[in-house]
Amino acid sequence: MSARVLDGKRIRDEILAELRGRVADLAAEQRPPGLAVILVGNDPASEIYVRNKVRACAELGIYSEKLTPRASICTEDLLGIIEGLNQRPEIDGILLQRPLPKQIDTRRTVVAISADKDVDGFHPLNVGNLVEGFPGPRACTPAGILELLKRYGIAIAGRHAVVVGRSDIVGKPMAIMLLHENATVTICHSRTTNLAEECRRADILVAAIGRAAFIGRGHIKPGATVIDVGMNRISDPREVERIYGAGSDKLEQLAQKGSVLLGDVHPLQVAEVAGAYTPAPGGVGPLTIAMLMSNTVAAAERKLLKSPSPVAC
């Protein structure tokens, strides 16, 4: 029996379809939700991500602004831009695209964004709300993963989940969200001993380690659900051939585009062992933007309707 592919694009489309009515209601009663996206510098990958986020806003009827400070901007000037957006009533959400240039104090920018407008779910107050199970914006990628699991009917309660990666953006909030769903959770990272053995205990394995095709058949329990959060770009033909095999069409793609995108999970081996898995690209990525839109709409509802919105996850 072949592994089931968990289509993030399909779930994204479901979420966005559900948001359209809420956006239309807000626009009819008062105004559409508003999102400001700050893109510092000219990082090509970040430019693509921001373009996709702005496009999603346009498709839903959400008002959006893109601000593009110079790459050499100092922390104080960036904080000034953030504070200006905090004061604008028509802006419900502020997203500061990462990574930021090295001269920027990232921690100060995280705290500077008003907790009410923190649609990334990174502000310490919102992290605290997540830990306590209080309403509020949730980190978009793990929130999207939870939506994917639920909408595909994959049981979480009572299952053993292993999260590989401990970042503030994915690993830590993912573990907490799974705990709230009554999973038994193990967090692994670069210094975990016997990593493969720990991973093989997982009914649900979330890979967010940032190493191309690192999680292979030796890490996967037969029949497990594998969620691949990674997005790595490789440009070495030998590496592409090692992963995909000689004669793969990925070598042609490499020749045409100069690189190949793949996740943290070996794309061929996961299909041989897992019961269900997300492809990369096409799995988790689309859900991140969908949950950003969900957080933005919820922020506008909290402000304009003066009533608590459901937690994004």
CA separation for the pair 148, 6 (Å, rounded): 8
The catalytic residue among 92, 116, 120, 228 is: 120
Residue 97 falls in the annotated catalytic set: yes
Answer yes or no: are the C-beta atoms of 124 and 172 closer than 8 Å.
no
CA separation for the pair 166, 183 (Å, rounded): 17
The catalytic residue among 92, 97, 116, 250 is: 97
Burial of 197 (0-12, 13-18, 19+ CB in 10 A): exposed
The catalytic residue among 53, 117, 172, 250 is: 53
Residue 120 falls in the annotated catalytic set: yes
CA separation for the pair 91, 36 (Å, rounded): 7
CA separation for the pair 140, 126 (Å, rounded): 12
Q: 271-291 burial, b if ≥16 CB within 10 A, otherwise e?
A: bebbbbbbbbebbbbbbbbbb
Residue 87 falls in the annotated catalytic set: no
Answer yes or no: are the C-beta atoms of 36 and 53 closer than 8 Å.
no
Q: Tokens standing for 130?
A: 């997540």
Q: Which residues are catalytic?
A: 53, 97, 120
